[in-house]
Chain A
Amino acid sequence: METRAIDWWVGIFVLLGIAALVVLALRVGNLSGFAYDSGYVLHADFTNVGSLKTRSPVKIGGVTIGEVTHIGMNPKTYMANVTMRIEPSIKLPIDTGASIYTQGLLGEQYIAIQPGGMPQNLKSGATITMTQGAVNIDQMIGQMVFSKAAGSSKSSGSQ
């Protein structure tokens, strides 16, 4: 085979390898910064974010419309402050609510947005005020066991 042709093929081969690495890094790994880069920013304060992480999805009715970009702590209110980036085509009314739910029993946590009905929309950098934090299953089981125990002791006392 001609040397020039070999050089071409080897060049293409190396480029293919680099391209594969770049695609792996951006599409498979979490190095992609441009997924929702063009989106606008919203904040929300939660009492408890559970195991929400950066890059967790933000959804309306199960459809992903953005992602969590930062989770911090508000030092004045001691609330967890979540920053998220929303797709620019999705406009949210100002009475929109946000809750943290879990996908299935063991799945990842995500932010579910409940859109409101007001005519004005939230602007970039605005804060969602109506929030509901992650449900702590341990706490719920504890409460249930406690109320059950209290109920049964009351009924045994009346007999």
Chain B
Amino acid sequence: MAMLEFIPQLGRRALQTVPGLGAASRFLLSSLLSVFNRHFSFQQLFRQIYGFGVRSLILMVVAAFFTGMVLGFQGYYALVRFGATSALGTLIALSLLRELGPVLTALLFAGRAGSALTAEISSMKATEQLSAMEMMAVNPLAWVVAPRIWAGIISVPILCAIFDLVGIFGGYLISVPVLGVDGGTFWAQMQSNVTFSGDILTGLFKALCFGVVVTWIAAWKGYTARPTAEGVGNATTLSVVTASLTVLGLDFILTALLFS
């Protein structure tokens, strides 16, 4: 009996998901394109970059510093058995630039800024502020959503570049003064194995993709939240969970595409 209920439920789910994805894509595209709308305000965009980017900076710097230091310890432990500690700089730099930098930045961003974005938009919806804007012929996509999505897209790669740099510095502090790896070898090996376009820019491209995905999911979850107190809470939780899982899945696909 349970089986018989399961099958139509699966179909119902699929029928909900596919048009939902279409609507979400239309939502993203019209938000991105509404930079040309007269209700789009650069002042709002700057305000959001301040909220998302500048105020996430301390979180990112601390997280990056500790990530780099742990990488230094852990990499040293693995490499010292083979007498290959000269590769520690390369290990730290490549791990951070290719994977950990973009992914951790995106995950922290989803928790720090994505949740706030969803809560803000969904509570605006619950208190009918979005409907009020439409009544006043103000496009809520251009006035509320677009500056937030663009702010996310701009902020995440910048945060990622800072994350990479601070992380490598943290790894350096553990490797060279604490564990006694030769400083010259550390940088020289790193420089001879890290390429600007292949590793640094590709990592930042990943961060850009994650920035789009995280803010898109956060804004869409907020925009489609049920307009109740419970709906706001659910949307916020769901936004962080969905964004984090999507970032991890997308990272696998991007890594397979970019670094294979």
Contact = CB atoms under 8 A, between A and B. Distances in A.
A137 interface: no
Given A6-B46, A29-B194, 9 more contacts: A3-B46, A3-B47, A9-B54, A13-B158, A16-B162, A24-B164, A29-B195, A53-B192, A106-B84
B203 to A, nearest CB: 9
B49 A13 contact: yes
A49 B204 CA distance: 36
B50 A9 contact: yes
Interface string A81-107: 000000000000000000000011111
B168 interface: yes
B176 to A, nearest CB: 14
B206 to A, nearest CB: 14
Contact of B162 (A1, A17, A56, A105): A17
Given A28-B93, A29-B191, A56-B192, A6 B47 contact: yes
Interface string B176-203: 0000000011011111101110011000
Contact of B200 (A13, A17, A24, A106): A24
A108 interface: yes
Interface in B188-233: 188-192, 194-196, 199-200, 204
A56 B193 CA distance: 11
Contact of B165 (A14, A20, A107): A20
A30 B194 contact: yes
B94 to A, nearest CB: 10
A104 B192 contact: no
Contacts of A10: 46, 49-50, 53-54
A103 B168 contact: no
B86 A107 contact: yes
Nearest to A53: B192
A20 B83 CA distance: 32
Contacts of A70: none
A104 B200 CA distance: 29
Interface string B140-166: 000000000000000101110110110
Contacts of B190: 28
A21 interface: yes
Interface string A31-73: 1100000000000000000000101110000001000000000
B235 interface: no
A29 B192 contact: no
B191 A21 contact: no
Given A53-B192, A107-B86, A24 B49 contact: no
B50 A6 contact: yes
B97 interface: yes
Nearest to A67: B188
B164 A108 contact: no
B191 A28 contact: yes
Contacts of A103: 86, 185
B124 to A, nearest CB: 20
A138 interface: no
B55 to A, nearest CB: 9
B188 A57 contact: yes
A3 B47 CA distance: 8
Contacts of A30: 191-192, 194-196
B100 to A, nearest CB: 14
Interface string B25-57: 000000000000000000100110110011001
Nearest to B161: A20
A23 interface: yes
Contacts of A28: 93, 97, 164-165, 168, 190-191, 194, 200
Nearest to A9: B54
